[in-house]
Amino acid sequence: MNTYIKIIITVLALMAEAAFAATEYASTTVEMTPIQVSKHVWYVKGMSGAATQNEGFISNAGFVITPAGVIVYDALGSPSLAQQLVGEIKKITQQPIVKLVLSHYHADHIYGAQVFKELGAEILAPIGAYEYIESAVSIERLEERRISLFPWVDDDTYIVKPDRILKESESFSLGGITFLINVVGAAHSDGDMTLYVEDDRVLLSGDIIFEGRVPFLGSAHTKFWLQTLEKMEMQSLQGLIPGHGAAAKEPAKTVSLTRRYLAFIRQQMAAVVDELQAFDEAYQQTDWSEFSALPAFKEANRKNAYQVYLSLEAEALED
Ligand SMILES: [Zn+2]
């Protein structure tokens, strides 16, 4: 074949490849190594810290490999991180990713969702997701992250709408593995849901449980959240993957930090509200030493306390 024709063929082949290849996102430099927690369940662990540290890789994502496809739980904080996760999953299994279950609609868990949508996965979200999608906060947050997490979050990053909203808990099976999606309701966010892998007795909890760091309360309904944690039957669990921090082999201990923090902050702020004390002064006077050495304390605690203070004032008016 003459060289000229060879070049034309090569150029055409390259053009065809570019047209059919999935979108390429800016590559990351962070470490992401899947950790296996049970026969079918794996996760990747973000670094505990504030939202824009570690190229935005600060939250966890889980995945469950079944003989009939992979279910992913949470999409990480940028399309680039999600692309990296998909690459890691492909190293372990040939199975396609068929479902993405989103624990809740917060930036650090959903900005990677478009990668899974491109792969054709069904995207499930809890009731309450649209309250976030349609809020001014979600638009402002995305604009801010396009700067603070550039180039991993950029103008092509968008908030993916779920294919299906879950209003109630439901169970399904895939490849002989039984799953239970538990719709917790508005706890940490406007809507939270957990994924329980029954065969492995492993719970993927999203942000209703944090490990090793101060939780971000945001728009949380701390009263309901605390009640949920207190009700959780942890004894039968073999493993627990929280939204942030390491997976626990002793789930009860992991739950305890989030539960203690919520109980403490509510108790302290309740006293402040009862005495009609000003927030600033009360915040200064509170002894935060039990939690002040934890990651994200500096970034989150004052805002958390203020949020709880305001919601307790509202609760007091409701009673
Ligand atoms: Zn989170």
Distance 74 CA to ligand 1 centre (A): 10
Angle at 44 between CA 39 and CA 45, to 5 degrees: 125
Sequential pLDDT tens for the chain (319 residues): 577 777 777 766 666 555 555 678 999 999 999 999 999 999 999 998 888 999 999 999 999 999 999 999 999 999 999 999 999 999 999 999 999 999 999 999 999 999 999 999 999 999 999 999 999 999 999 999 999 999 999 999 999 999 999 998 888 999 999 998 888 877 788 889 999 898 888 889 998 887 777 887 877 778 877 877 776 655 567 889 999 988 986 787 777 888 899 999 999 999 999 998 999 999 999 999 999 999 889 989 999 999 999 999 988 887 6
Tokens of 254: 């992991």
Distance 3 CA to ligand 1 centre (A): 55
Q: 170 by DSSP, 3-state: which?
A: strand
Q: Name the residue ranges covered by the structural domains of the chain.
A: 29-252
Distance 95 CA to ligand 1 centre (A): 27
Residue with tokens 């917060």: 106
Angle at 315 between CA 313 and CA 319, to 5 degrees: 120
Distance 250 CA to ligand 1 centre (A): 21
Alpha-carbon gap, residue 228 to 174, rounded angstroms = 27
pTM of the predicted protein model: 0.77
Distance 77 CA to ligand 1 centre (A): 9
Q: What is the pLDDT of residue 133?
A: 95
CATH class of 29-252: alpha beta
Distance 186 CA to ligand 1 centre (A): 14
Distance 69 CA to ligand 1 centre (A): 26
Tokens of 36: 């296996």
Distance 41 CA to ligand 1 centre (A): 20
Q: 296 by DSSP, 3-state: which?
A: coil
